[in-house]
Chain A
């Protein structure tokens, strides 16, 4: 068990023939992920070949989904066309679309998010490393790797990781695996101000997943998604949770405008978010090197076994 995906998940790659998409499709195939189709408009009928595997390419997501039965896609399409690619996946009624693309205009995402309201398709990202559900093989091979995360650092197990940052996710996963603690699913929700799935959405899924015994939640300055999740955890989540917030030393106002302080409120800073984490019973990692240990402390306090 895991959340949203399993090692059996069939995956489509939108933008499979681009350099970025192709590189990570090869890595996913090597990892043992079931990449069953690619989408590149105009290249339908061709094949993406790697390591003796032939992945059929389709002109549209709808064609690809119909032919392969896949319900999940990863978007590697360049920023000017990425919003359209996400909408295409939603229109084909996929269950899950994971947008890896970095640099999508905010206005495009505002419109995409509005268009997806009330639809059954879930969006993860954009500007995210994607998701990993580790497999049973050596270096967790045989799992489902959607996106750009390194597969080999994972290990099958029972910790859920959710994060806005790619490399900090790898840092957390690596610490866990080094200590012999495996993961159920790792979800990178992305660093953009307008994204699909939130911290809270993922936390709820981990909370309901019997296979997930503990959670690491990684956030950063800006917005209040981590605070929202923390408050929900305090009221509803019995599982041990460790948290980390990056950006305590980041200069104010570099990306956020002057007026942003009104709407963002006082919960925007690292210090404020860490204070809420503590108040909500989340074990705070003092440094990023402390993330796995923080979860171990939280698990010990609740008498929960992680591995």
Chain B
């Protein structure tokens, strides 16, 4: 689960990670109150959406920049009015962009130098890793690719936690000295506690900055949490913003379906994540484009199959459907009945190819045949994928 920058910064403050003074606003009426506690002078206005590249983004009405520097609070108020309710397109949003429903005002900081700091899971060692660089405020992938020696990593032993010497060493590598070093060390330790205690899957600060006064501040904040651990953080679940999620994905999660929208035109309905991924792959292999990832899980019910069909058909781009079920334990006949009921209920007019295999498959195929539905049966995954690609192309 992802959260907004202003939410992440509130969390940082709670853990003693310094951030510039700021406040969010969701309506123009809230601008005055949000700006009131900030000192007069240079102020930033930042569009709050769950996507990167905001500063370089463009709004659909032509207004440029989702993050703006303003000389006065009054200017900030005016620019916030242009952002709020407007749709921002960035390199990460796709062409449709995201509607800005919250703006965030912060005091503009005097920047001495920019750094990069992130904490995430390292899969190779199964340990948290702190990643830091003196090259902040730029794309970190580019730094890692061009100048890998400028990326520093600290692996944290979960038995002992982050050790002081590790933090000192990292601060030296980043070139911090004096008061800066002390402040940076405290920030890194506190950020790690925040990462660990909230079950975050990643915290990223880009840039982390120093000021001429010797302060070290998180100028930006990106935080995502491990969905598996949300059950023990009800206060974090409150931060979820459904406006940032695809309505079809929200609907799917209500039915315990794992759905991700893509931009192709062949929808697929599959049991199991690996099989669902490779069903998308095989559609592409035979020249089609998948419209979604959809895993109905190991024990899908009739109701779930009906819900899955409704979600798939809610995507106007869909021109055909491929159902691929390997019923290991689940009864293929139950799935077949679910398909028949679903198709009757939603009144399907698109081509449908069904590949059923596994437990009680003969009865399942008989149910489909008897139903009188206009569907095509596929023998193997390859056969089914070729058939649906051909039908959609026709």
Tell me the A residues contacting B by CB distance below 8 Å.
27, 79-80, 103-111, 113-115, 148-150, 152-153, 163-171, 174, 191, 193-194, 218, 220-225, 244, 246-251, 254, 257-264, 270, 286-290
Could you say which of B144, B153, B260, B270 contacts A254, with CB atoms under 8 Å apart? B260
The chain A residue with its CB closest to the CB of B118 is A259
Q: What number of residue pairs across chains A and B have CB atoms under 8 A from each other?
A: 176
The chain B residue with its CB closest to the CB of A262 is B144
Question: Is B278 on the interface with A (CB-CB < 8 A)?
Answer: yes
Question: Is B375 on the interface with A (CB-CB < 8 A)?
Answer: no
Provide the residues of chain A in CB contact with B383, threshold 8 Å.
Answer: 289
Most chain A beta-carbon neighbours within 10 Å: one of B157, B278, B298: B278
B133 to chain A, nearest CB (A): 9
Would you list 19 pairs from A and B whose C-beta atoms are within 8 A, ordered by A residue? A80-B231, A104-B228, A106-B201, A106-B229, A110-B158, A114-B158, A149-B328, A150-B329, A165-B275, A166-B272, A167-B275, A171-B326, A222-B123, A250-B280, A254-B260, A258-B202, A259-B204, A263-B129, A288-B381
Could you say which of A103, A153, A165 contacts B272, with CB atoms under 8 Å apart? A165
The chain B residue with its CB closest to the CB of A171 is B326
Question: Is B120 on the interface with A (CB-CB < 8 A)?
Answer: yes
A249/B284 in contact, CB under 8 A: yes
A111/B158 in contact, CB under 8 A: yes
Question: Is B358 on the interface with A (CB-CB < 8 A)?
Answer: yes
Q: Mask for B187-230, Cβ within 8 A of A = 1, else 0?
A: 00000000010010110100000000000000000101010110
A259/B131 in contact, CB under 8 A: yes
Contacts A79-B228, A289-B382: A220 and B277 contacting too (C-beta < 8 A)? yes
Provide the residues of chain B in CB contact with A288, threshold 8 Å.
Answer: 275, 278, 281-282, 381
Most chain B beta-carbon neighbours within 10 Å: one of A105, A149, A194: A105
Sorting the interface of chain B by its residue count into under 10, 10 to 19, 20 to 34 or 35 or more gives 35 or more
A111 vs B141: C-alpha distance when bound (angstroms): 29
Could you say which of B157, B229, B272 contacts A107, with CB atoms under 8 Å apart? B229
Provide the residues of chain A in CB contact with B199, threshold 8 Å.
Answer: 105-107
Provide the residues of chain B in CB contact with A170, threshold 8 Å.
Answer: 326, 328, 358
B293 to chain A, nearest CB (A): 7
Contacts A106-B121, A170-B326: A248 and B52 contacting too (C-beta < 8 A)? no
Could you say which of B226, B290, B326 contacts A106, with CB atoms under 8 Å apart? B226
Provide the residues of chain A in CB contact with B196, threshold 8 Å.
Answer: 107
A159 to chain B, nearest CB (A): 18
The chain B residue with its CB closest to the CB of A286 is B285
In order of increasing CB-CB distance, the 4 nearest A-B pairs are A165-B274, A167-B272, A105-B229, A257-B202
Could you say which of B140, B232, B290, B326 contacts A262, with CB atoms under 8 Å apart? B140
A188 to chain B, nearest CB (A): 10
B126/A113 in contact, CB under 8 A: yes
A56 vs B140: C-alpha distance when bound (angstroms): 56
Question: Is B151 on the interface with A (CB-CB < 8 A)?
Answer: yes
B123/A264 in contact, CB under 8 A: yes
A289/B282 in contact, CB under 8 A: yes
A167 vs B359: C-alpha distance when bound (angstroms): 13
Provide the residues of chain B in CB contact with A111, threshold 8 Å.
Answer: 158-159
A89 vs B274: C-alpha distance when bound (angstroms): 28
The chain B residue with its CB closest to the CB of A225 is B123
A47 vs B73: C-alpha distance when bound (angstroms): 72
Could you say which of A104, A149, A169, A262 contacts B141, with CB atoms under 8 Å apart? A262
